[in-house]
Amino acid sequence: MTDTYLDMVNSGLGKQLAGKLGLPRPVTLRRFTADGDFPSGSVLVLGRGAAGDAASSALLGWDLDVRRHAQDVDRVGAVVIDYTEVDSPADLADAALELASAVRKLRPGGRVITLSRPAPGIGTGAASGMLPGARQLTPSQAAARQGVVGMLRSIAQEMRGGVTANGILLADDVAADAPGVTGALRFFLSGRSAYVDGQFLTVGDDRGDADVDWVHPVAGKVAVVTGAARGIGAQVTRTLAASGATVIPVDVPAAGDALSKLANELRVPALQLDVTDPQAGQKILDLAVSRYGRLDLVVHNAGITRDKMLANMDQAKWDSVIAVNIESQLRITETLLASDQLGPAPRIVCLASTSGVAGNRGQTNYAASKAGVIGAVAATAPLIAEKGGTINAVAPGFIESDMTAKIPAARRQISRRLNSLQQGGTPEDVAQAITFLLSDAAGGINGQTLRVCGQSLVGA
């Protein structure tokens, strides 16, 4: 679905008109390409902790121009701020004000990334209170750490030109140079995170692989995607295949034609299956193992909506949404974890939604199911960690799709602009975030929900 307004305000006459009238001027985002995926310009690293030094080393290893003082650079592609050693709110000022002097130097599509430690027991979408190794903090230390969260999210709302701001939280027992930190840094710098803004990822342990092939980060993996015939599911399937995985697309028999077309395009087997089938998990395993000997990656994408105001909700609409969106995921995941036929580092990503974070009018059943996904992911994390794996969720916001195309035009335009990037995301944005979380570069990230919403101004 095309955003004609975005196209218009990026043309010569439309750009001038929008400027004169004070209209929103979203820009085309810098998305992932195999060639030249880093932002243009120097990378400014602020702060004097070990995490900043480790980040500088990684950035230099990627052949980027690294500077440590704002006055030393004219064209800034990204700013990385090390706040891992703050002990009081007063410690936030120096780097923040140096960033302020560099904001106007940020190039379009640039990045601002903070490195900090979580404040235990305070939610940032990272279940920080449950992290192993979390240490007791003084009130001043907790205030400083949580201050980084509020500051970063405010910075994200002030950026323009497709610049995003995101944060990496290092658990207290995670080293500054842990592979998972490097992987998260690479993701946030990359075009794979184009529609991720104002969000945090917590690296909870030292697992991960800093040497993943960024163009083919899931090379050699066997993956299954449910709800794969259309929309986000089809894009996830294609993106994983382009990223090196062998993907088995799964969808209901009613979507058989579209499913077969996709499978033929990728030259892989497809599975027509209702995910609410009590044997769905075993059937998925049986096909993957019979064809490829194991199953490494699973994307729980299948989902439905049956929207009604609660006063008009009936049993059938409620039960069907819960059955497809969360109960099927729980049952399939339980079957997978009980199996000895998963790969050595199994990874699962579940589709949640910003409706599950903030709620949405007329979607009590859907919001309950997607909030359930977030809860299930957090509780399943320690179980899959025992197998050397991870499970995470991705929560899309407004994504340009056949479903959102049915929203009345005026409401659709408003929904597009109600985020820091002032536009809708694409299925590719969701697929790229999922691909990262399925890669070994994200091995230290477990039990979390990453919003792919352009920092929607709804909810946390």
State pLDDT tens for residues 196-254: 999 999 999 888 887 899 999 999 999 999 999 999 999 999 999 999 999 999 999 99
pLDDT of residue 341: 94
DSSP class of 327: I
The CB-side HSE value for 317 (13 A sphere, CA atoms) comes to 15
DSSP class of 31: -
Residue 172 has pLDDT above 60, yes or no: yes
Residue 4 has pLDDT above 50, yes or no: yes
Give 70's pLDDT tier (boundaries 50, 70, 90): confident
| Domain membership flag for residue 352 | yes
pLDDT of residue 124: 54
pLDDT of residue 376: 97
Domain end, chosen from 168, 203, 238, is at: 203
Q: How far apart are CA 124 and CA 114, in angstroms?
A: 14
Q: How many domains does the chain have?
A: 2
Residue 337 has pLDDT above 90, yes or no: yes
Predicted confidence (pLDDT) per residue in 304-321, tens digit: 889 889 899 899 999 999
Domain end, chosen from 138, 173, 203, is at: 203
Phi, psi (rounded to 5 degrees) for 406: -85, -10
CA dihedral 40, 43, 44, 47 (to 10 degrees): 150
Question: Is the torsion defined by CA of 145, 147, 149, 155 positive or negative?
Answer: negative
Which DSSP string do the residues of 330-385 spell out, in sequence order? Answer: HHHHHHHHH-S-EEEEEEEEEE--THHHH--TTBHHHHHHHHHHHHHHHHHHHHHH
383, 362 Cβ separation under 8 angstroms: no
Q: How far apart are CA 136 and CA 27, in angstroms?
A: 44
81, 115 Cβ separation under 8 angstroms: yes
| Average pLDDT score over residue span 95-121 | 94
> Looking up tokens 């059938």, which residue turns up?
316
Predicted confidence (pLDDT) per residue in 395-450, tens digit: 999 898 776 666 666 666 667 778 899 889 999 999 999 999 999 999 999 999 99
Q: Is residue 321 domain-shared with residue 243, that is, in the same domain?
A: yes
Q: Is residue 196 domain-shared with residue 289, that is, in the same domain?
A: no
Q: Is residue 254 domain-shared with residue 400, that is, in the same domain?
A: yes
Give 360's pLDDT tier (boundaries 50, 70, 90): confident
Q: Is residue 156 domain-shared with residue 227, that is, in the same domain?
A: no
pLDDT of residue 24: 72
Q: Is residue 186 domain-shared with residue 237, that is, in the same domain?
A: no
Phi, psi (rounded to 5 degrees) for 393: -125, 150
CATH classification of the domain holding 363: 3.40.50.720
| Domain membership flag for residue 2 | no
Give 18's pLDDT tier (boundaries 50, 70, 90): low
| Average pLDDT score over residue span 279-295 | 97
| Domain membership flag for residue 214 | no
116, 59 Cβ separation under 8 angstroms: no
Catalytic-residue membership of 83? no
186, 441 Cβ separation under 8 angstroms: yes
Q: How far apart are CA 343 and CA 445, in angstroms?
A: 18
* Per-residue CA distances from 177 to 38, 53, 56, 58, 114 (Å): 20, 9, 10, 9, 15
Two structure tokens written together for 179: 């592979």
Residues contacting 27, CB < 8 A, separation 6+? 10, 108, 160, 161, 162
| Domain membership flag for residue 182 | yes
Coil, helix or strand for 228? coil
Phi, psi (rounded to 5 degrees) for 228: -90, -5
Q: How far apart are CA 460 and CA 452, in angstroms?
A: 13
| Domain membership flag for residue 209 | no
Residue 127 has pLDDT above 50, yes or no: no
pLDDT of residue 72: 83
Residue that wins the pLDDT comparison between 58 and 27: 58
CA dihedral 4, 355, 152, 421 (to 10 degrees): 0
Question: Is the torsion defined by CA of 327, 329, 332, 337 positive or negative?
Answer: negative
Q: Is residue 317 domain-shared with residue 398, that is, in the same domain?
A: yes
Residue 457 has pLDDT above 90, yes or no: no
pLDDT of residue 446: 97
Q: Is residue 304 domain-shared with residue 429, that is, in the same domain?
A: yes
Residue 373 has pLDDT above 70, yes or no: yes
Residue that wins the pLDDT comparison between 412 and 136: 136
Residue that wins the pLDDT comparison between 123 and 227: 227
Q: Is residue 181 domain-shared with residue 230, that is, in the same domain?
A: no
pLDDT of residue 206: 85
| Domain membership flag for residue 457 | no
DSSP class of 136: P
Which residue, among 363, 365, 434, 422, has the nearest Cα to 396 in the 3D structure? 434
Residue 163 has pLDDT above 60, yes or no: yes
| Average pLDDT score over residue span 382-396 | 97
Two structure tokens written together for 359: 């709620």
Residue 460 has pLDDT above 60, yes or no: no
Q: Is residue 318 domain-shared with residue 365, that is, in the same domain?
A: yes
Two structure tokens written together for 268: 């892989």
Instruction: Please give the order of strands across the beta sheet that includes 76-82.
Output: 66-67, 42-46, 76-82, 106-116, 164-170, 200-203
Percentage of the chain exceeding pLDDT 70: 90
Please give the span between the terminal C-alpha atoms of the chain, in angstroms, as a whole number.
Answer: 27
Instruction: Name the average pLDDT for the chain.
Output: 91
CA dihedral 10, 16, 18, 24 (to 10 degrees): 50
Domain end, chosen from 173, 203, 233, is at: 203
Q: Is residue 165 domain-shared with residue 244, that is, in the same domain?
A: no
| Average pLDDT score over residue span 132-138 | 77
Residue 34 has pLDDT above 60, yes or no: yes
| Average pLDDT score over residue span 251-261 | 96
Two structure tokens written together for 27: 């820009």
Q: Per the residue annotation, which of 5, 83, 195, 366 is the catalytic one?
A: 366
Which residue, among 223, 257, 255, 254, has the nearest Cα to 241 in the 3D structure? 223
Q: Is residue 55 domain-shared with residue 164, that is, in the same domain?
A: yes
Provide the domain limits for residue 108: 31-203
Give 21's pLDDT tier (boundaries 50, 70, 90): low
| Domain membership flag for residue 217 | no
